[in-house]
Amino acid sequence: MFGSKRIAHHSDLMTRMSETVGADLGEAIAEGRIDAEMLRAATISCAGCDEAAECPSWLDDHAAGAEAPPDYCRNRNLMMALQG
């Protein structure tokens, strides 16, 4: 499985990605659109992505915001569904 540092790193990437594309994960949980288990599964999915090493650069390049995550993002559909 994945170590706690790796999960924390991917949790941070997911937070950055959600902020970049305007998807408020905290609000989605509070409103019941996702639950903790769904967020956990999304984080594990992110941690298993072969392209995750590209995310920090992509996020830096899109610091002003983006309409959607990159095509390779395993959580692209989730992030887009949670956009404000």
For the chain, what are the domain ranges? Answer: 4-81
The per-residue pLDDT for 18 is 97
Residue 84's pLDDT band (cuts 50, 70, 90): confident
Closest CA to 44 of 81, 80, 79, 9: 9
Phi, then psi, of 54 in degrees rounded to 5 = -80, -20
CA dist 55 → 19, 24, 38, 67, 74 (Å): 13, 18, 21, 15, 11
Q: Record the pTM.
A: 0.91
